[in-house]
Amino acid sequence: MSRVGVIGIGHGVFGRRSDATVQELAFEAFRDAMTDAGIERGELDASVIAAVPEYHKQRSVAGVVQEYLNLNPLPTWLTEVACASGSAAIRTAYMAIKSGLHRVVAVIGCQKMTELGTAEILALMGRVGEVQWESVFGTTFPGYYAMFATRHMHEFGTTREQLLEVAVKNHHYGAMNPNALFQKEITIEKALASDPVASPFCVYDCCANADGAACLILADESRVSGRDGKVVWLDGVGSATSPMSVLRRPNLVGLPSASEAARQAYEMAGVTARDVKVAEVHDCFTIAELMAYEDLGFCEKGHGGRFIGERRSYIGGDVAVNVDGGLKAKGHPIGATGVSMACEIVGQLRGECGERQVPDADVGLTHNVGGIGQYTFVHVFRRD
């Protein structure tokens, strides 16, 4: 079957974007991706929009974005699986192309998180958990992931310092990324001294909401000729789910959906975890990145703290992880995050990331989690 390649990427600045509507954010990324691909609107067959509509005053986000981008009457549709919406959109476009229904598809992740207040956002995110038995008792995202961290510390001796080493690393690389929300390095001492959020978490254990957009142009193999050296192939896609209620999970030290999605993606791409040179993982909280190291097979279960402590997830280590700053420093506009991750991996495999370029990167991976691990998407990208 024909392979699916990424022929264009576009990425806007993440932050408190009071200067732009969600349509304008989408346009920034779409314009740059189309320019990068070197194609015109008439060469597109469809678009897939990733956004979580509850965060916008506008209910039908895909419709207004499609109109603003002057893409009517092409078909479009919205994907929404909480924080993994962007990766779900990529998978949807991939399936549309592999089926032969479409040949060139624009995937646009866009989100305005700052139209709502903090209390409203916390309430919305809390309801991503199981509403009958959990969120009614006041669960929040920090609270859920704090349970993962507490259990990981109990079972494996993981320390607060090891958790916060994730933040130090990601802010280090975020300081090199002009599209990141936070472009300033931090020290472990500053992180440890920050205000408590949900024990054992403090402020620097947690990612920040943001506004932003990113765009990919996907195409089938017949449309990528003449792009030698610039095409990055999406060769492995994996997706899996876990119970809505964390109380029905087998344990609280990993995400079963992530392990299964990784298995599928590795098998489809014909690679193993050892082949991955650069990865974007869902570090909504510091413990999430440590668990991702383990769930993706970068290290053994329980060794995530040692993995970051030995700098094995830095450039020059076993696998460079979140060298764009991750959600932690880049920010987390939830509909755009999965697409943003893919843009970074494509840029790395094309050798375009400047001072944070991973040497000899030929296989890259994205790991995007929706909710508290209810949905996970893992994608494997490759440069020939």
Which is the catalytic residue, given 152, 282, 332, 367? 332
Report the C-alpha gap between 333 and 331 in whole angstroms: 7
Report the C-alpha gap between 191 and 10 in whole angstroms: 32
Asked if 299 is an active-site residue, the reply is: no
User: Are 339 and 107 spatial neighbours (Cβ–Cβ below 8 Å)?
Assistant: yes
Q: Where are the beta strands (DSSP E) in the chain?
A: 4-11, 46-50, 76-79, 104-111, 196-198, 201-202, 212-220, 232-241, 278-280, 320-321, 363-370, 375-382
Asked if 332 is an active-site residue, the reply is: yes
Query: 125, 380, 376: which is closest to 278 by C-alpha?
Result: 380
Report the C-alpha gap between 127 and 114 in whole angstroms: 18
User: Are 334 and 55 spatial neighbours (Cβ–Cβ below 8 Å)?
Assistant: yes
What separation, in Å, do the N-terminal and C-terminal C-alpha atoms of the chain show? 17
Which is the catalytic residue, given 11, 56, 83, 206? 83
Report the C-alpha gap between 143 and 123 in whole angstroms: 12
> How many CA within 13 A on the CB side of residue 68?
21
Q: How many C-beta atoms surround the C-beta of residue 18 within 10 A?
A: 9
Report the C-alpha gap between 242 and 360 in whole angstroms: 35
Q: How many C-beta atoms surround the C-beta of residue 15 within 10 A?
A: 20
Report the C-alpha gap between 227 and 186 in whole angstroms: 40
Q: Active-site residues: which are they? A: 83, 332
